Structure 1
Amino acid sequence: MMKKNQSLIGGACIIASVCVGAGMLGLPSAGAGAWTVWSMLAIAITMVVMTISGWMLLEAFKHYDLKVSFDTVTKDLLGDKINFINNITVYFVGGILLYAYITSSGLILQDVLGLNAKIASVLFVLIFSAFVWHSTRAVDRISVVLIAFMILSFVFGVSGLAVKVNMAVLFDTISKENAYAPYAMAMLPVALTSFGYHHSVSSMRAYYGEETKAKYAILGGTVIALSLYFLWLFSIFGNLPRSDFGPVIAQGGNVDALLKALGSVIESDKVASAINTFSMAAILSSFIGVGLGVFDFLADFFKFEDTKQGRTKTWLVTFLPPLVMSLLFPFGFVIAIGYAGAAATVWACIIPALLAKRTREVHAGCEGFKVPGGKMMISLVITFGVLTAVFHILSMMGMLPTFVG
């Protein structure tokens, strides 16, 4: 039954908040090789495909109870073996994103507050995961606040950068480089992760009580994310020369390295502070959004009850492993996001398309929500996912051009 009181803005903000942390902080370093035009083209194509694949999940979920997630639906429609692979990739991606956010928050808070990075990471998890433990409504409320806060700091910080955009830097006319397109291939896994909200689709469907409103919330969220990415890359690439990304890439694209590189070209301390504030808000909003998706997925997987005791068990399996890994093995942000993107092709592209295909076979002729495009759209989504995974593997093997600054 549709829940009339749930706003589209709140749902769109949850979806956008899940996306923007990884995208904002990972895309500039990942797109340094492809630079402005090719980076934006890769991001736009990825946004369209990932929005459609999210709708495919809604189509597959429509015949099930509102509380179900990947585990139940994939097992029922595609079988235990495929479901096992899907579950591994869902948790791997969610876990590695949480791990990346926890590590990055520690590094930023270390510089801002003077705390030890590991202590800062622990405090970050304990305080902000409480919203996820409480309820989806609590995440809705804090997501709206964080998105508003991000927009204010983003507008202030980016406006300071945007007014000083150098077109020669933005379009890299100084270096006389022509081979940008090959670098876009290696960027796709990070671009895909930048729209990796799919573990929150079941949460959106349960929140609204039906598919159509959830569809528009997903579209609204991905459009917000895409708009922010375009503004962000325009401002970063228009101020920080392509050759200056060398030190950032050498440190694995870590957020603190990117912020320090930006600090060297930003003349205003207020603008630099706004950019730092925005980056922290982006990490926090994505941490909470991704945490909610993983939380609901694991609650469904382990069949934990929706009680204080059950939610505490879910909290432990959701947040404790990535926190421990962050404390023991911190490494490059973009490297982590790249691995997440390669694995995410399974549950963000391939599985949703297969679920939609199987749903149409099992429930042929049924009315209700259906993604347009027929079999061709299913094939395109699967192809995009496979190619993205292949590009990441080729990049790891050194078989794709690697930009080092």
Structure 2
Amino acid sequence: MKGKPSLFGGACIIASVCVGAGMLGLPSAGAGAWTTWSVIAISLTMAVMTISGWMLLEAFKHYDLKVSFDTVTKDMLGDNVNRINNLAVYFVGGILLYAYVTSSGIILEGMFNINSKIASVLFVLLFSGFVWHSTRAVDRISVVLIVFMVLSFVFGVSGLALNVDTSILFDTMNKETSYAPYAMAMLPVALTSFGYHHSVSSMRAYYGEERRAKYAILGGTVIALSLYLIWLVAIYGNLSRNEFGPVIAQGGNVDVLLATLGSVIASEEVKSAINTFSMAAILSSFIGVGLGLFDFLADFFKFEDTKEGRAKTWAATFLPPLILSILFPFGFVIAIGYAGAAATVWTCIIPALLVRKARQREDNDKGFKAPGGNAMIGLVMVFGIFTALFHIMSMLGMLPVFTG
């Protein structure tokens, strides 16, 4: 008889979905807002994203454990809303996989002197196998990767932490005081950094109930937030605000960030630990995001849970991002920003609408309920709408853009 899945394993899956985008995107995205406002932005986002995930759990509780967004949204909100949501879910999952595949190729090229496109293909063929196999396999590899990341993170960041300069960390040498406006443009990347919602159905099916899934989600977002805060303090305490200019000019590409960071680190061992950590962060998020998108597409296309059915789902999940990565590689943070704007649909707006509809049912009082009542539904929806607006305004040049 199989034992119950551990809460730590589930929390690691949720954390692993988040950390790739967050760890590698937040430092560049938050360079304008700098330390204090970046911390405020990501802490607020974590709270909202955790509650919106719980809202999905409440809405899903009326359905079979195997369902995902497609079935529930179509039933509760109708075909038109469901089409918009499906498009947003697939776009965000696809663009995140695309960003991870592209970045992994670039980093592996530097580490092993192998062509980046060949490295990307090998990366996908090797590591997407865990997703094809089962959620249990993803649980196991996620725990290994999180532990591996923590070890390389502790070793790498401890080297950075020893050199943290508070005058750099709080930008006291700079006379500029307008940090807050830059935090608005940072929110879409912060939202993507907690965009685990396509994995909510996977967690519910994994545990067979909402209550344990709720704690796995909370554990995962707390792990992610803790890593983000330590990482930002370590980087912002070593790299001055102006040194982010070249990184931002290159679209926030991970290799440029790592090279810039490497230029201020004296120890080769610390440099290697930071590079290893970054690769593990990309890999864990690739597998975590891949699992969520895999389950979503299996539900959408009604592919069977057989070897042949899972092979079809694998192809629909991983081949389009891989092909696009080979043909059209571009900036990491740019891709994450687009993902964040589209993700507001299914991380904020749809969960709020679904739970509002679910609470109109007579039998909704039984079982799991997300906290905060109707006021929280309004707050989650407003947060999502404003985050999407900030991204559009930033693209149109209506928000201040930090260039270093």
Do both share a fold (TM > 0.5)? yes
| Partner in structure 2 of residue 376 of structure 1 | 375
- Give 1:12 shift: 0.2
- Give 1:365 shift: 5.2
- Give 1:364 shift: 5.3
1:153 partnered with 2:142: no
Q: Deviations over 1:374-393 (max 9, x none)?
A: 11000000000000000000
- Give 1:82 shift: 0.1
| Partner in structure 2 of residue 141 of structure 1 | 140
- Taking the aligned partners of 2:117 and 2:280, their CA distance within structure 1 comes to 19
1:88-167 matches, within 5 Å, as: 88-167=87-166
- Taking the aligned partners of 1:311 and 1:118, their CA distance within structure 2 comes to 25
Paired residue secondary structure (1:361):
coil
- Taking the aligned partners of 2:337 and 2:35, their CA distance within structure 1 comes to 19
- Give 1:362 shift: 2.5
AA aligned opposite 2:15: A
Paired residue secondary structure (1:399):
coil
AA aligned opposite 2:66: K
| Partner in structure 2 of residue 225 of structure 1 | 224
- Taking the aligned partners of 2:154 and 2:138, their CA distance within structure 1 comes to 23
1:3-402 matches, within 5 Å, as: 5-363=4-362, 366-402=365-401
CA RMSD of aligned residues (A): 0.8
- Taking the aligned partners of 1:401 and 1:185, their CA distance within structure 2 comes to 9
Q: Which runs of 5+ in 1 are unaligned?
A: none
- Taking the aligned partners of 1:235 and 1:102, their CA distance within structure 2 comes to 26
- Give 1:67 shift: 0.1
- Give 1:4 shift: 5.8
- Taking the aligned partners of 1:362 and 1:87, their CA distance within structure 2 comes to 24
- Taking the aligned partners of 1:370 and 1:153, their CA distance within structure 2 comes to 38
Identity %: 78
- Taking the aligned partners of 1:101 and 1:365, their CA distance within structure 2 comes to 39
- Give 1:57 shift: 0.3
**Structure 1 runs, 4 residues or longer, greater than 6 Å off:** none
- Taking the aligned partners of 2:267 and 2:170, their CA distance within structure 1 comes to 24
Aligned pair count?
A: 403
AA aligned opposite 1:100: A
Cα separation, partners in 2 of 1:365 and 1:205, compared to 1, 3 Å? closer
Q: Which runs of 5+ in 2 are unaligned?
A: none
Paired residue secondary structure (2:380):
helix
Cα separation, partners in 2 of 1:363 and 1:287, compared to 1, 3 Å? farther
- Taking the aligned partners of 1:152 and 1:243, their CA distance within structure 2 comes to 30
AA aligned opposite 1:297: F
The TM-score normalised by the length of structure 1 is 0.99
- Taking the aligned partners of 1:365 and 1:233, their CA distance within structure 2 comes to 41
Paired residue secondary structure (2:359):
helix
AA aligned opposite 1:133: W
- Give 1:177 shift: 1.5
- Taking the aligned partners of 1:344 and 1:375, their CA distance within structure 2 comes to 22
Q: Deviations over 1:20-52 (max 9, x none)?
A: 000000000000000000000000000000000
